[in-house]
Structures are given as C-alpha cells and as structure tokens.
Amino acid sequence: MITRTTFAGFGGQGVLLMGYVLSHGAMHKGLNITYFPSYGAEMRGGTANCTVTVSDKKIASPVASNPDVLVAMNGPSLDKFEPTIIKGGLIFLNASLISETPSRTDVEFLQVPIVELAKEVGNARGGNMVMIGAVCAKTGLLSLEETVEGMQAAMKGKDKFFEANQKAIERGFAFVKDGK
C-alpha cells in the first residue's frame, strides 16, 4: 500500500499542519511516511502545499509528481494540482471557498464545507481539522483515534487546542459517514 497526498492552499489555512497530522498519525500506526512541505516567503496569504506519502513499505522518494489524493483549500490550488492527480484519484474541495468542481471526469471528488462544519462544533478556526478528519475517513488511511493521536503529536505543547480540534476531526469523520 502506498498513498501520496498533496495538501494545498493559502498560507494560514493550516495546510502544512494537515500534512503533519497525517504524518504523525501514520507514524504512530507503524507506517512509513515522507512529509515534503513547500511554501512562499510571505507565509500567511501566500501559497502553501505539502506532499505526504504513506506506505507499508520503504518509500523511495518524497517527491509525488502524480499523487493519489489532492486536498484543495482554494481555487488556485485546484487549478494548479488537479492535472497532476492520477486517473481514479480523489480530490477533496474546501466547499466554503471553492464553488466550481474539478474539470476532470476520471477522478472522484468530495466537497467539504469546512468553515460551516467547524462552526457547528464551536471551532470557527478548525476547518483544517474538519478537512483532515474527512480525508482520513474517506481514504481509510487513519482511524478516528489515529487521526486524533496524530493531531496531538503534531501539536505537542499546545494541549489547550486538543479538545476543540478533536471535535473538528470528529465532525469531518461524521460528514463522510453521514454525507452531511
């Protein structure tokens, strides 16, 4: 099993943190991972993306030219990375910002209204945690417990955010399970 995921969006949307959560959760699960971040010099408001490769075997390269999964947090990220996704791949869209759908018909996509769902659980800034919950639920890469464990490891020392982020992750899992 090998799954390559690209997370992309504006700096400040928690794009790199989503990748870090997936990485930590997968490591705790005993899988091999690579985490390859990339961001503009301006950080907040600039572009940010990262690639996370998760595998039960050794990983030859951190570069994922053709990922299996794309998490697009804004329109420019969808435009830039949609062509790179493998045929039959999966695209997660931040439906709170992206109204269009992928132009490709050979990929599956899921629109996740992350801002609205995060507000439902009282964590207006937790959209990225809703999204990583949805990603892990849909792909099966991590269970709910493993995703929460990954978040806690990725945010070590920031315990005051654990409860709110766990609720947001749970909401992402519930969205995938219930379709709402």
**Predicted pLDDT at 55:** 94
Mean model confidence pLDDT for the chain: 91
**Predicted pLDDT at 12:** 80
The 10s digit of each residue's pLDDT in 28-73 is 999 999 998 887 655 556 678 999 999 999 988 777 789 999 999 9
CA 153 to the chain's CA centroid = 16
Average pLDDT over residues 161-178: 95
Which two three-digit tokens encode residue 39?
């961001």
Residues 6+ apart with CB under 8 A from 1: 54, 55, 56, 57
CB environment 135-152: b (16+ within 10 A), e (fewer): bbbbbebbebebbbbbbb
Average pLDDT over residues 23-32: 95
* Strand pairing category for 2-10 and 69-72: parallel
The 10s digit of each residue's pLDDT in 116-148 is 999 999 998 899 999 999 999 999 999 999 999
* Phi (first) and psi of residue 164, to 5 degrees: -65, -40
Determine the residue type at 91.
I
CB 48 within 8 A of CB 13: yes
**Predicted pLDDT at 57:** 92
